[in-house]
Structure 1
Amino acid sequence: MKIEGTKEFDAPRAVVWSVINDPAKMAKTMPGVESFEIADDTHWSAKVKVPLGLGGLKMSMQFTKLEERPLEFASLNAKGTGVGALMNMTTSFTLSGEGDQTHMDWEADVKIAGPVGSMGQRVLQPIINQQVGNVLSALDAQVQEAKTGA
C-alpha cells in the first residue's frame, strides 16, 4: 500500500531536518510508543502499541536509516513484528524551501502480512491515513518546539 503527500512547515529547512534526522524526536511523533532504544546513528528500535480500531496491536519495531542527503532527503525502513502481523515500511522525505518555510514531500510503502494484513486495504487504509495525519501533526509540533528551542 503506497501513500504519499506533502506537508508545509513554518520553520527553516535545517530545523525540520534536525527533527526528522533525530530518532528520539521522531519517536515522539509515532503513536503508541511504549519504549525506545537507539543502537547507533542508523539503527534504533521501539516497542509500540499500534492503534487498530478495537484495541491495539503490540509490535516490536526495528528502524534502519537507508539513505540521507542532509537538509534535502532521507529514507528509512521499519520492520515490525507482533502477534498476528508482520509489517515492513519504507518511507522517504524530500525537503525543499528557502528562509522560514519548508516544503516536505513524503511517501511510504507499507506492507502488512498475517491476519491483520488480511483485513485488506479497504479496512486498513482509513486507519493508516488517520495515523499518518497524527504523525504529521506531531512532527509539526516537534518542529515548532525545535524552532523555539523549547
Structure 2
Amino acid sequence: MQMTDSQRIAAPREKVWEALNDPEVLKASIPGCEELVKHSETELEAKVKLKVGPVKATFGGKVTLNDLDPPKGYTIVGEGTGGVAGFARGEAKIHLEEDGPDATILSYEVNAKVGGKLAQLGARLIDSTAKRLAGEFFTAFGEQVAPAPVPEFTETANGAPEIAAAESAPGDEQKKGWFGGLLGGKKKQVVDDPKIGDPAE
C-alpha cells in the first residue's frame, strides 16, 4: 500500500521540524495514540488503539527516525503488533519545503503493510483506513504547529465582551446598505408617512 500527499502549514520550516521531533506533539497528532515514549533522539515506543472495520486492537511497537536531514525532513519507520489482530509495518518519508518565510509545505510518501486478521479485511478497506488515518494525523499535526487564531474580544460601553468585527469583504457594504435600507427605510416610512395619523385620533 502506497500513498502520497502534501499539506501547507502556516509556520516556518524550523518550527515544523522541531514539532516533528517533539513526542508530545506527535502523541497528540497520532490517531488513537495512548503512549509515546522517547528513548533516544531516533527511537520511540508507542501504544496505539485503532479500529479497522470490525477489528479493534491495541498495537504496541517501536518507531525509528532515519535519514535525518534537519530541517528538510526524515524517514519515520514504525512496526507494531496487535495480538490476534495481526501486525502493521510502515514508513513515511517526510520532506519540508519553505513556502515563504512563514509557511512550510509538508510532503509525505507512505508505504505500509499489514498481516494477520487485518490483511483479511481486504485491500480497499485497508487503503481507505490508512488514508483516513494519515489525513487525521497531518491535519492534527498542522493544528498543533499552527493553531487557528482565537477571536479577539473587546469591551462594549457597558463592559460586556464583544467579538471584534472582521474586516468587511468586498461587496459587504453594498449588502449592508441594501439590507439596512430595507429595514431602515420601512421604519422611516412608518414614522414619516403623512397618511398615518396619530393613533389617538
TM over 0.5: yes
Q: How does 1:1-150 map to 2 (within 5 A)?
A: 1-54=1-54, 56-83=56-83, 84-97=85-98, 98-145=100-147
TM-score in terms of structure 2 length: 0.68
Contact 2:52 2:118 in 1 (8 A): no
How much identity, in percent, do the aligned residues show? 24
Q: CA RMSD in A?
A: 1.4
TM-score in terms of structure 1 length: 0.90
Contact 2:27 2:35 in 1 (8 A): no
Deviations 1:18-67 (A, max 9, x none): 11122331121101112221111111111110132346321102101111
Deviations 1:65-90 (A, max 9, x none): 11111110211110010122111111
Q: How many corresponding residue pairs?
A: 145
Normalized per residue, the structure richer in strand is: 1
Unmatched tracts of structure 2, length 5 or more = 148-201
Unmatched tracts of structure 1, length 5 or more = 146-150
Runs ≥4 residues deviating over 2 A: 53-56
Contact 1:31 1:51 in 2 (8 A): no
In 2 relative to 1, CA 36–144 (structure 1 residues): closer, same or farther, beyond 3 Å?
Answer: same
Query: Which structure is higher in RCO with an 8 Å CA cutoff and minimum separation 6?
Result: 1
Contact 1:81 1:87 in 2 (8 A): yes
